[in-house]
């Protein structure tokens, strides 16, 4: 199952379906709370998430038949919206409206766990389950126009509407945790955990499945989103997915694979409440309840932004560069 990707037709189906919906060619979803593609596209216009900085210079060796010279270019660093990650309760109920309406049927896949609205007030349900879909961010074109006004910008690796991870297509691993339940990361306490040292543990990254023992629904959803991003930003993982990876080259330095607590990636909240800022989880004090981020239906949508560094190529060879 390693390296098995969703079929290529799925990307075309999703993109065509979303365009049809945007043109009014399909009925609106009956779901009471959802987010639409135009809202997601507009959310990419965030200067705070972009975090554009000039950080140094690149020095190039430029040679022609008449000789060689030294040229320089500005080195910049900024974030790019790459994935829209939906972490939701019921199979087939992606809160991204258009994706839910054009996604392939879930078949015999069942829901699991328990949403906040279903939990009894006097009994806290510890075992929770989330479906997760990680789809290429649809706002790339608008974002590029927005960011280019600030100066030279880097190119992201994500393709709009590409299904990088769909948990119903990865049902065996996502629902059983096989084979990752036997990995050292899953067996040794303290390894690969999302949370703050000594307190406010959101959960373990491994096994990267849809179940977690966690009483807090928002933290459960965030952890599942973190797990899916951990998968797709690496190659050769024992899951059904499409890798979102990019290779370093002269003048271009993409982010490393997602690691919890690392600033190479940040999360933007899109639903239930949209935010104009991006954070690294956990982003509040250990005593905070995150009550304002809880969705009663148990459905959440996040955008994953990756940090890129780049400079304009001005020669055949990069001699050196400055800036982190």
Chain length of the chain: 324
Q: How confident is the model at residue 3 (pLDDT cuts 50, 70, 90)?
A: low
Q: How confident is the model at residue 98 (pLDDT cuts 50, 70, 90)?
A: very high
**44 within 8 A of 275, measured Cβ to Cβ:** no
Residue 197's pLDDT is what? 77
CA 42 to chain centre: 17
Give pLDDT tens digits for 185-231: 999 988 999 998 778 899 999 999 999 999 999 999 999 999 999 99
d(CA 157, CA 209): 25
Tokens found for residue 216: 């807090």
Q: What is the mean pLDDT of residues 72-88?
A: 98
Give pLDDT tens digits for 303-316: 999 999 999 999 99
In the chain, % of residues over pLDDT 90:
78
- Residue 65 class from Cβ within 10 Å (0-12 exposed, 13-18 middle, 19+ buried)? exposed
d(CA 296, CA 121): 13
Q: Residue 64: pLDDT above 80?
A: yes
Question: Which residue has better confidence, 38 or 116?
Answer: 38
Tokens found for residue 55: 């950080």
Provide the 3-class DSSP secondary structure of residue 155.
Answer: coil
**68 within 8 A of 42, measured Cβ to Cβ:** no
Give pLDDT tens digits for 18-63: 554 544 544 444 455 799 999 999 999 999 999 999 999 999 999 9
Provide the 3-class DSSP secondary structure of residue 109.
Answer: coil
Residue 161's pLDDT is what? 96
Tokens found for residue 76: 């910049």
């Amino acid at each position: 199952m390693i390296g098995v990707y969703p079929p290529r037709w799925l990307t075309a189906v999703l993109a065509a379906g979303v365009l049809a919906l945007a043109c009014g060619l399909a009925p609106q979803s009956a779901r009471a709370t959802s987010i639409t593609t135009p809202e997601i596209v507009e959310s990419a216009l965030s200067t705070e998430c972009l975090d554009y900085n000039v950080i140094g210079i690149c020095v190039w060796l430029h040679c022609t038949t008449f000789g060689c010279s030294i040229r320089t270019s500005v080195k910049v660093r900024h974030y790019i919206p790459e994935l829209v990650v939906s972490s939701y309760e019921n199979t087939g109920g992606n809160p991204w409206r258009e994706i839910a309406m054009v996604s392939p049927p879930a078949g015999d896949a069942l829901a699991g766990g328990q949403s906040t609205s279903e939990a009894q007030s006097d009994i806290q349900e510890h075992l929770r389950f989330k479906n997760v879909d990680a789809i290429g961010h649809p706002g790339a074109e608008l974002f590029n126009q927005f960011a280019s006004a600030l100066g030279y910008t880097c190119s992201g690796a994500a393709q709009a509407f590409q299904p990088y991870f769909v948990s119903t297509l990865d049902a065996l691993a996502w629902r059983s945790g096989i084979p990752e339940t036997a990995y050292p990361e899953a067996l040794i306490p303290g390894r690969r955990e999302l949370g703050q040292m000594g307190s406010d543990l959101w959960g373990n990254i491994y096994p990267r499945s849809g179940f977690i023992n966690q009483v807090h629904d928002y933290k459960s959803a965030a952890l599942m989103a973190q797990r899916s991003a951990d998968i797709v930003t690496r190659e050769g993982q024992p899951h059904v997915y499409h890798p979102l990876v990019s290779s370093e080259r002269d003048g271009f330095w993409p982010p490393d694979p997602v690691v919890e607590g690392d600033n190479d990636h940040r999360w933007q909240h899109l639903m239930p409440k949209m935010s104009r800022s991006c954070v690294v989880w956990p982003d509040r004090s250990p005593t905070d309840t995150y009550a304002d981020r809880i969705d009663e239906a148990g459905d959440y949508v996040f955008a994953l932004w990756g940090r890129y560094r780049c400079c304009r190529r001005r020669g055949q060879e990069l001699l050196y560069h400055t800036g982190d």
